[in-house]
Structure 1
């Protein structure tokens, strides 16, 4: 397993209609490092965004999609997605406010 620091765990937020709708329930979706554990994800969110308290973390591994360009076949990179549930008294995450 990789030695990940908290700032290496979260790669970017997922901005879709479904993830934006879940924000009203204090659920935030991020792409995370493929070797990150739920504990590391929880620690990273609480350290990077002040005033947040994580209740639960759900993760899913996304396999790469098959792609073809002419006779050459390949796959896109694997990804890991995490849905983070914050407590009701927790502060909202600021990066989603302008979206």
Structure 2
């Protein structure tokens, strides 16, 4: 059993993720690179006391950028998890 703070980094609050959560009950999380679908499921169920029906994982490659000196650099890679909850379950987000 892995603790939730070793799996979940943050919850993504964007226009697209807000639409997913209101229409389909899907929430997007930024997760650590070592996280798997099973550990994400356990962490979300433990933390928010909800039932998870599905977990999708995205590995995002860092985009190329230029530094202030003009040298090419790349932004860091990231991993995201889109979690679908059981019908009627909700995660209350307080800011």
TM tier relative to shorter chain: 0.7 to 0.9
State the 1:21 CA deviation. Answer: 0.6
2:16 aligned partner: 18
TM-score normalised over the length of structure 2:
0.88
- Cα drift, residue 7 of structure 1: 1.9
Root mean square deviation of aligned Cα: 1.8
Q: Counterpart of 1:65?
A: 63
Q: Does 1:28 align with 2:27?
A: yes
Q: What residue is the counterpart of 1:9 in the other structure?
A: 7
Moved over 6 A (4+): none
- Kindly state the Cα deviation for residue 66 of structure 1 after the two structures are TM-superposed: 0.8
Structure 1 residue runs without a partner (length 5+): none
Aligned length: 93
Gaps of 5+ in 2: none
Could you say which residue in structure 1 is the equivalent of 2:37? 38
Query: In structure 2, what is the Cα distance between the partners aligned to 1:65 and 1:34?
Result: 17
Q: Distance in 1 between matches of 2:10 and 2:70?
A: 33
- Residues 9 and 36 of structure 1 are in contact (CA less than 8 Å); yes or no, is this contact kept in structure 2? yes
Normalised to the residue count of structure 1, the TM-score between the two structures is 0.84
Q: CA deviation at 1:68?
A: 1.0
Question: What is the CA-CA distance between 1:61 and the residue it aligns to?
Answer: 0.3
